[in-house]
A = this chain, B = another copy of it.
Amino acid sequence: MLKVGLLGAGRIAGVHATAISSHPGSTLAAVSDFYPENAEKLAAQYGSVARTTEEIIADDSIDAVLIATSTDTHSDLIEAATQAGKAVLCEKPVDLSLERARACQTATATTGKPVMIGFNRRFDPNFGAMKAALKAGDIGKPELLSITSFDPAPPPVAYVKVSGGLFRDMMIHDFDMANFMMGEPPVWVMAAGSSIVDPEIGAAGDVDTAVVTMTYADGRIAVIKNSRRAVYGYDQRVELLGSEGLLQAQNMLENTVVKSTTAGVTGAKPTYFFLERYMPSYAAEWAAFMEAISGGGALPVTLDDGIAALAMAEAATQSRKTGAPVRLADV
């Protein structure tokens, strides 16, 4: 039975707590949080105990930590946990600073401990089925990838200011999805972005609507569209044109009811936001982590994957500012 320490007790930590507790091979040994009362509350709900982060990391009986704290603490905690001999599953992104993330990568490598980054969308059953079809050769050789990723509503501007910007905070998931589908990072990154949804976001130096085009060594192209606001719900679609066909992963809907009236034929909206849409992916992510560290197999998402996506976000950020394409190797 793997004993797991959960660092962080916020909303997403609660989702992870369920996954850890429900998995037959893991148990939630302890929970910590910047606000101890939050850790107490979450621990109580799952029959666990609240401790400090330091205590958890120092406790040799704890085998693994799941890091679900604020982004600025990720690199430090990954380093501390791996140096303390623990396996790590860390929420994305690794860091807002690509430089710091790379330093963390170097430091971690020496420990030999497994570090998986929580790109949970790779474990969404729809994207998983799409990837499986791709690997099965159903559409031949991939050529043109298109990712549509719209949030239902923009976050508070206060959040935007500390988020690292749309490319590092929101599109980073889509960069990883591109890497997941294309099998490697692109060579060039070109970004267009504007603040058209909420002028406050623009005033804070960020964009709320963006299109990033990426080209690959062999001529393949990928395009990612992001918007901070799709009033009809969380719009999460991926499509990939190949030499022998097209694969599309479409939205999950709230229900399957269709109403036909004089006003038209109306179905349900997409599930509202990431918790609703991606809930099944968190349990699958944890199961994949468990399987890798138990069986000694390869991690399905590595720290390198986290760095790669972060580098793409960095390149997109630069490209958006200068208006010119950025070579990924140059960031």
Contact = CB atoms under 8 A, between A and B. Distances in A.
A170 interface: no
A218 to B, nearest CB: 7
Contacts of A190: 190, 192, 213
Interface in A188-228: 188, 190, 192-197, 209-211, 213, 215, 218-221, 223, 225, 227
A110 interface: no
A273 to B, nearest CB: 14
A165 to B, nearest CB: 16
Most chain B CB inside 10 Å of its own CB: which residue of A139, A210, A251, A261 = A261
A255 B195 contact: no
Interface residues of A, number: 71
A230 B144 CA distance: 11
A269 to B, nearest CB: 6
Interface string A51-64: 00000000000000
A310 B84 CA distance: 63
Contacts of A258: 247-248, 250
Interface string A124-138: 011011100100001
Nearest to A232: B260
B232 A245 contact: yes
A252 interface: yes
Contacts of A144: 209, 211, 225, 227
Interface in A142-188: 143-144, 146, 148, 150, 188
Given A143-B209, A256-B249, A269-B264, A150 B194 contact: no
A191 B193 CA distance: 15
Contacts of A210: 221
Interface in A256-313: 256-270
Interface of A: 125-126, 128-130, 133, 138-139, 143-144, 146, 148, 150, 188, 190, 192-197, 209-211, 213, 215, 218-221, 223, 225, 227, 229-233, 235, 241, 243-270, 323-325
10 A-B pairs with the lowest CB-CB distances in the bound complex, closest first: A194-B219, A245-B261, A232-B260, A196-B219, A250-B256, A246-B260, A264-B266, A129-B255, A266-B266, A129-B257
26 contacts: A126-B256, A128-B255, A130-B257, A150-B241, A188-B323, A190-B192, A192-B221, A194-B219, A196-B218, A196-B220, A197-B243, A213-B213, A227-B241, A232-B246, A244-B262, A246-B259, A247-B257, A248-B259, A259-B264, A264-B267, A264-B268, A265-B269, A266-B267, A323-B324, A324-B324, A324-B325
Given A125-B255, A143-B209, A192-B213, 5 more contacts: A126-B256, A139-B261, A209-B219, A247-B258, A324-B325
